[in-house]
Chains A and B, each alone.
Chain A
Amino acid sequence: MSLFHRSRALWVAVLAIVLAMVVAACGDTKDDTETSASSAPATTADGGAAANADGEYRRGLKAIVMPKQLGNPYEELEDSGTVEAFEELGGEASIEGPTDAGASSQVPILQSAIQKQPDAIILAANDPNAVAPVLKQAIARDIRVVTQDSDAAPDARQIFINQATTEGIGESLARMASQVTGGRGEIAVLSATANATNQNAWIRVLRERLETPEYSGLRLVKVAYGDDDDQKSFQETQGLLSAYPNLRAIVAPTTVGIAAAARYLSTSPKKGRVQVTGLGTPDQMRKFVKDGTSEVFALWNPKDVGYLGGYAAAALASGIITGAEGERFEAGRLGEREILANGEIVLGPPTEFTRENIDDFRF
């Protein structure tokens, strides 16, 4: 077509740009290797000093914190904890994240984060494996990688801050379910998305616990997925209530799900007869604990998760720890913490909230 002929000038212009980019790119690759070569001794020196547990935190550290999704209040709380930790240590942490929680939505943002060459990246992974290749690149470029709240593949990060052990949370869910039902009857789970790593792990433990004699009176009839969407969680709750008339409790191990289930039940005739429990923030659930929709639910302080993650990342970047089992470091107001097997650090058992203590918590 004539297009090719008439727009020759444009093609030339574009070719020129592309060539310029290529030249620039080649030049920069050289620069990159040079800079990384020059900075290499410094970082290996840090790495070499690793075993020194008395080491001071380095000041002026730069970190990037990545939530699963921007605008998610729980994640924002967590990240504010990380930012607080870095500020205490005289460094800075900036929050960057995707606008949706799809499996691979964090990848492009991580890639750009690596380019900025921060001292550490702290993230809550949307999918353990989708982010793994990028995280490995980050580690290869001497960036310390800490996961918090939701882990990545273990070989793609140095430390994982577990809010509580999977076992502990599963156990806690079983215990609360037993408590609110008096130990007998049908229960159902209202989870987040079907792919959610955390929720699936907790539900697995919950199932295991329910098979033990201690919880023999409880029967898990259905796991429903509210997709962490209010409307869907509402409809799933309605469905559970009408499909299982003998239901005694809904266990929602997700902050969106528990709020939706409680909100629906609080205005339903089945309020009180069917209890809501699970994991939620006190601010979301205060109203429903007070009106009897939910006797008890649990959560760790998300801000503490982020705070611990921040200190762990700073300790790694300062060479105080390397991420090996048994190492210890001082984590600000949370005191001394130890690294367990698999590079995990556990924040502690979740706090259970009831009518008595809920007003002591604001988050």
Chain B
Amino acid sequence: MSTADVAVDRREAGERARRLSEMVFRMRELGIVIALLALIAVTAILEPRFIELDSLKDLARNASIIAIIAAGQTLVILTRNIDLSVGSVLGLAAFFCGDMLSNHGMPIIVAILLCIGLGATCGIINGVLTTYGRVPALVVTLGTMYVFRGIAFVYTDGRQINAETLPDSFLNIGTGTILGIPTIALIAFVVVVIVGLYLSNYRSGRELYAIGSNDAAAKLAGIRVDRRVVGAFVASGALAGLGGALYAARFGTVDATAGTGYELTVISAAVVGGVAINGGVGSVYGAAIGAILLGCITSSLIVLRIDSFWQQAAVGALLIAAIAFDRLVGLRLDAALRQRSARRA
């Protein structure tokens, strides 16, 4: 009887806490949006051409590939893991896609699906090693980052894919528009929304948050932790594979080094967008906006004619500012929650 009371009490408190923290999430995303708008506004005041339609389309295109991979990365980070191999998976898939299209005459849709499958396979390797092999994700994906890139080197063997040999309809995915919206940005939008809906509306999606918050508890609550974590890695790999295909479509030129260093950009985008590196907190929309923000910083520095040497420093500083801000808000939230529960008692 008393245990039931406590349980109800806990549930109510939990519900309140959930609502409050959800509100903070929304505010967090709002904060990033405001930062983004401020950046665009300042740049636009100094250089009005920055917000011309073509320029905005380019901004969307620039952020698309990072946003897609960041969506997958978000799933992994939510479970308190990390995937450092995405840049290498992208490189491998990009060349594979180009090779299939220009040298083997494969239909475009089949090539893209195979890229996604290739990425998913890489994801399965990461996921299985992490869960069933009990190797920390940082170690696994650091290792596979080297291995997948090495495989890409062996596979490409110094070759390069050129725009000339790729079918125009494929290249149009990277540069064309549908109803005035860049195709690649539409794809990114669809991916982000699907992942977002999955996280909020599906039990297995919400379970990722539970795993990231406390995986021992999640396991005791009957969540199939290993299976969910493998799923997150597969999604991350598959989206990196899709990113690779889009990379080939957008740039038209692919060699073994495609996507080197993307892992850090992708993780930065997610973290700037409010995804906590310790898991359990964040949304895919935030990560996507983070990707747009990072892309905009580079572009606005260029447009404002600021020495591009500053760009890397600016992105690093922004990342630190974002996590410091999260921490301060988190402390406030903790205090508020404690006050509430104190009042109730």
Contacts and interface: CB of A to CB of B under 8 A. Distances in A.
Interface of A: 69-73, 76, 99-100, 194, 222, 224-225, 230-232, 234-236, 238-240, 242-243, 245, 256, 259-260, 263, 267-269, 283-284, 286-288
B302 A235 contact: yes
B163 interface: yes
Nearest to A76: B158
B54 interface: yes
B252 A259 contact: yes
B162 A284 contact: yes
B58 A71 contact: no
11 contacts: A71-B255, A224-B308, A230-B258, A234-B250, A236-B302, A239-B303, A242-B50, A259-B252, A263-B251, A267-B176, A284-B160
A327 B25 CA distance: 74
B175 interface: yes
A356 B159 CA distance: 26
B299 A235 contact: yes
Contact of B251 (A230, A240, A243, A283): A230
B54 A269 contact: yes
B153 interface: yes
B49 A263 contact: no
B121 interface: no
B213 interface: no
Contact of A256 (B52, B158, B253): B253
A238 B55 contact: yes
B309 interface: yes
Contacts of B247: 230
B58 to A, nearest CB: 5
B256 interface: yes
A286 B166 CA distance: 12
Interface string B59-92: 0001000000000000000000000000000000
B22 interface: no
B161 to A, nearest CB: 9
B256 A231 contact: no
B204 interface: no
A267 B175 contact: yes
Interface residues of B, number: 38
Contact of B257 (A71, A234, A267): A71
B94 to A, nearest CB: 10
Binding site of A, secondary structure by majority: helix, strand, loop or mixed?
helix
A240 B299 CA distance: 10
B305 interface: yes
A259 to B, nearest CB: 5
B5 interface: no
Interface in B178-206: none
Contacts of B62: 231, 234-235, 238
Contact of A260 (B160, B253, B298, B308): B253
Contact of B47 (A73, A243, A263): A243
| Residue of A194, A242, A283, A287 contacting most chain B CB atoms (<10 Å) | A242
A222 B302 CA distance: 11
Contact of A283 (B55, B158, B164, B176): B164
Contacts of A287: 162-164
Contacts of B252: 259, 263
A71 B153 contact: yes
A239 B302 contact: yes
Nearest to A268: B54
Contacts of B54: 268-269
A162 to B, nearest CB: 23
Given A267-B175, A287-B164, A238 B253 contact: no
Nearest to A99: B153
Contacts of B309: 194
B156 interface: yes
A115 B258 CA distance: 33
Contacts of A236: 302, 308
A243 B305 contact: yes
B49 A245 contact: yes
B154 to A, nearest CB: 10
Contacts of B258: 230
Interface in B281-338: 295, 298-299, 302-305, 308-309
Contacts of A288: 163
A140 to B, nearest CB: 32
For the complex of A and B, the 9 pairs showing the least CB-CB separation, nearest first, are: A239-B302, A76-B158, A71-B256, A73-B160, A267-B175, A230-B251, A287-B164, A242-B49, A286-B164
A169 B255 CA distance: 26
B307 to A, nearest CB: 10
Nearest to A236: B302
Interface string B217-249: 000000000000000000000000000000100
Contact of A242 (B52, B251, B257, B295): B52
Contacts of A232: 298
A284 B49 CA distance: 31
Given A71-B257, A263-B253, 12 more contacts: A69-B257, A73-B158, A73-B160, A99-B153, A236-B308, A238-B58, A242-B52, A259-B163, A259-B252, A284-B253, A287-B162, A287-B163
Contacts of A235: 62, 295, 298-299, 302
A225 to B, nearest CB: 6
Contact of A73 (B55, B159, B295, B305): B159
